[in-house]
Structure 1
Amino acid sequence: MLTRSLGAASFQQFWHYWNPIWGYYLSQYVMRPLRAWLPLTLAILLTFVVSGALHDVAVSIVKWRPVFFFTPWFFLMSVALISLQLNNVRYPRLPWLLRAAANIGVIGLCLAATYALGF
């Protein structure tokens, strides 16, 4: 899972390979229903928000206190994904290590922005 996802040729492709079982359920039960009523970019954004919220719920249950961190982080990652997709940012010809650095870099920048915003 890590080799294919980290070495993906775009940030969109990273999410295609990352956690395929979770991705399948998000696709079937969140993305497709939203896509029937909303533009693709908004459906993507809301799918990431739902995923982040479900992560927050899971962590809240484990910690026995409310957690609101993954929702804004996933929101920022969806904005990054949509922006990169709209600008056709892809890196298929880069070596695996640089593709992995690019994908981790986007995730890391979104994570840093989430912390900077106080979440």
Structure 2
Amino acid sequence: MTKGFLTVALLLLSNVFMTLAWYGHLELKKITWLQGLGLAGVILMSWGLAFFEYIFQVPANRLGFKDNGGPFSLFQLKIIQEAISLIVFMFFAVYVFKSDKLAWNYLVGFGFIVLAVFFIFKKN
């Protein structure tokens, strides 16, 4: 199960960089020296962060894919990534960016994602 754990850990790291690349630029107004950064600068900064996302994401999928000796199918890898993505996003939105509160309807929606994980991993 080491490959499975390593796959999840790498996807977690990947999603931290993905969240920063996709949504971090929305928080630039809080950083004085980055406030004047234009759209081109924001895009380049996001690409730079996305580079690190892929440094973790590509090995995670290669390591975790069952045809490469890993424990997961393509569908399982995707649903794991989506669940991790939402968890990381929730953490950043509530505790890092402090832009939102965790409301009951968000928790219900995340619960449905957890159910999706359950059904994707359910044996036929």
Q: Same fold (TM over 0.5)?
A: no
Give the TM-score, by structure 2 length.
0.32
Question: Considering only CA atoms, is the larger Rg found in Structure 1 or Structure 2?
Answer: 2
Which structure: greater helix fraction? Answer: 2
